[in-house]
Amino acid sequence: EAKAPSNFIRQIIDRDLAEGKNDGRVVTRFPPEPNGYLHIGHAKSICLNFGIADSYGGACHLRFDDTNPEKEEDQYIRSIQRDVEWLGFEWAGPVRFASGYFDQLHDFALQLIDKGLAYVDTQSPEKIAEMRGNFTTPGQNSPHRDRSVEENRALFARMRAGEFDEGEAVLRARIDMQSPNLNLRDPILYRIRKKAHHQTGDKWVIYPMYDFTHPLSDALEGITHSLCTLEFEDHRPLYDWLIDNVDVPARPRQYEFSRLNLNFTVTSKRRLKLLVDEGHVDGWDDPRMPTLSGLRRRGYTPAAIRNFCEALGVSRADSVIDMSVLEEAVRDDLNQHAPRAFCVLNPLKLVIENWPEGHEETLVAPVHPQDEAMGSREMPLTREVYIDREDFREEANKKYKRLVLGDRVRLRYGYVVRAESVVRDDAGEIVEIRCSYDPDTLGKNPENDEGQGKLRGVIHWVSAGRGVPCEVRLYDRLFQVANPAKVAEGESFLDHLNPESLRVLSGCVVEPGAAGAVAETRFQFEREGYFSVDRDSTAARPVFNRTAGLRESWPR
Ligand code: ATP
Ligand code: MG
Ligand code: MG
């Protein structure tokens, strides 16, 4: 396996190992909140955390950060596990839940109360927010800040017993209301939520805050390097304060790296959920979504996504990655590994007049022209075939490397044909091309070529009788603007949806060998692009999603 390129986090780990820290252990974690499906941004964090564990012989835990019963759901828990596995990673030990530590976290809260480092505040949420101040105004101490340990114990017990309503009381850390860091101005540790939790049911009506839960869960699990995105940098002093003031079995450290931002899409679960809930897309796994399940349905491979993340590297510099970089990653992978097939997206019938009626030949083509090991495929050629409408013109100059009336092309892997005449419908539209073929041109150039000029080109085709009618879904970018999340006053990111992000072609024809492929089989349809079998597909009615064109083509 190729060695992963170094980055500042790996350098920190190398140094820690050299100094003998953590008894030589490297333990990371990937900590999603189960409030949505994973997106491409999460892939960066997954590749980083699991990649580090893999290359240092360490462990990476999968831990659901499930402290908010309101927004969390079981379907998210299942999809997240599936996505991590699909990317090719294995978590160490069982799936973990922050909610699995609620008892211990409660004990830790009591420790803080007993040390005079936490107190119950019974002011209104508005008052607490107001007294917290902001970047320019210092905070003010709560009148409840100096309650006795006994009083705090009693009030916290009553909070837990359900004697207060939501918003009537919180437990706060007692740190420093004058701190320039707002996160240290007596942050809330516990709040009341009278909601059942997907893991703990009705056991709790108080729930610990993320900032309290995360460092202490890390410590309980023996995480050595807790890697998170830069927006948590200002939370690190609180992380360390908790580790310092609670009696925990180990000392994890937090390191921050920059988020992955991609243009022409949104990577926030809140916005993605809105797209789903309002029906702008066909669910979380709509192939236009930047979710891992959407990318998967679109035809992305785990390798493409991992290579993409690896190539991005890990740093503390914020940047926006161009969507074309992601698309190039899947092209690279599929170009190497996807079997080839013929699919005619916009069929026009071509009749070979000198081909005997009822005669059929089986032509042999490579599955991959650059990879013999992938074997060969068989394609029936019959008197009537389909070619793409784009591949025929009545007249054209020399630059047009396709079929022109009176001129010749090769049917790829087959014979040379010449367009002799066209048949039109009542409206004057061409509905058929009448051709002749040269039987002596299979795998070789035509003889007696004088006066005919060079062959114009080679085009793909599918037997009319043997090809299988199919549907092809052409996807485009979901948003028309590079930064849909940046909206003017009174606008919504939804105003920037691309109305042409999905175009369905229902009258396509695919070569029979590709028709029965199971969902998620990927192909390069020669001369068209990369396509993946959709889960709506059946053998009788295949459905293909376009993953990417053969080359970059934005803007169109
Ligand atoms: P969102 O804003 O979409 O809700 P989140 O950060 O709240 O994202 P979590 O489920 O908490 O989502 O994320 C799990 C892990 O993935 C966190 O460690 C988080 O830092 C990381 N992560 C989330 N988005 C990105 C991103 N765009 N780039 C890199 N890492 C990310
Ligand atoms: Mg989060
Ligand atoms: Mg979030």
Annotated catalytic residue, options 25, 82, 153, 259: 259
Distance between CA atoms of residues 107 and 104, nearest Å: 5
Within 6 A (CB) of ligand 1 lie 31-33, 41-42, 44-45, 65, 228-229, 259-260, 267-269
* Residue 272 CA, closest ligand 1 atom number: 3
Distance 417 CA to ligand 1 centre (A): 56
Is 259 labeled as catalytic in the residue annotation? yes
* Confidence at residue 232, expressed as pLDDT on a 0 to 100 scale: 97
* Confidence at residue 448, expressed as pLDDT on a 0 to 100 scale: 65
Distance between CA atoms of residues 10 and 16, nearest Å: 10
Q: Does 38 show up as a binding residue in the annotation?
A: no
Annotated catalytic residue, options 29, 147, 185, 269: 269
Q: Which two tokens stand for residue 49?
A: 């955390």
Strand ranges of the sheet holding 170-173, from the earlier edge strand across to the other edge: 118-121, 170-173, 188-192, 206-208
Helix (H) or strand (E) holding 126: helix 125-132
Q: Does 442 show up as a binding residue in the annotation?
A: no
Q: Which two tokens stand for residue 170?
A: 């919180």
Is 33 labeled as catalytic in the residue annotation? yes
Q: What is the pTM of this model?
A: 0.95
Is 444 labeled as catalytic in the residue annotation? no
Distance between CA atoms of residues 315 and 256, nearest Å: 9
CB proximity list for 285: less than 8 A, separation 6 or greater: 37, 291, 293, 294, 296, 297
Which residues of the chain fall short of a pLDDT of 70?
A: 1-3, 448-452, 553-556
CA angle in degrees (0–180, nearest 5) for 161-164-165: 120
- Give first-to-last CA distance, the chain, whole Å: 39
| CB neighbour class for 133 (10 Å; exposed up to 12, middle 13-18, buried from 19) | middle
Could you tell me the sign of the dihedral formed by the alpha carbons of 294, 295, 301, 304, in that order?
A: negative
Distance 42 CA to ligand 1 centre (A): 5
The ipTM value here is: 0.96
* Confidence at residue 451, expressed as pLDDT on a 0 to 100 scale: 63
Q: What is the pLDDT of residues 217-248, one digit of tens each?
A: 999 999 999 999 999 999 999 999 999 999 99
Distance between CA atoms of residues 443 and 139, nearest Å: 82
Q: Does 65 show up as a binding residue in the annotation?
A: yes
Distance 59 CA to ligand 1 centre (A): 20
CA 192 to chain centre: 34
CA 521 to chain centre: 18
Annotated catalytic residue, options 21, 33, 393, 527: 33
Q: Does 494 show up as a binding residue in the annotation?
A: no
Distance 468 CA to ligand 1 centre (A): 43
Instruction: Please answer whether residues 101 and 216 qualify as being in contact, where contact means their C-beta atoms are separated by less than 8 angstroms.
Output: yes
Domains observed in the chain: 8-257 (3.40.50.620), 269-338+470-548 (2.40.240.10), 343-460 (2.40.240.10)
Among the bound ligands, name the one nearest to the CA of residue 268.
1
**110-113: long-range contacts at Cβ-Cβ below 8 A with a sequence spacing of 24 or more?**
110/153, 110/156, 111/245, 111/246, 111/247, 112/173, 112/189, 112/245, 112/246, 113/149, 113/152, 113/153, 113/156, 113/171
Distance between CA atoms of residues 286 and 272, nearest Å: 11
Helix-helix angle 40-55:8-18, to 10 degrees:
30
As beta bridge partners, residue 423 has: 432
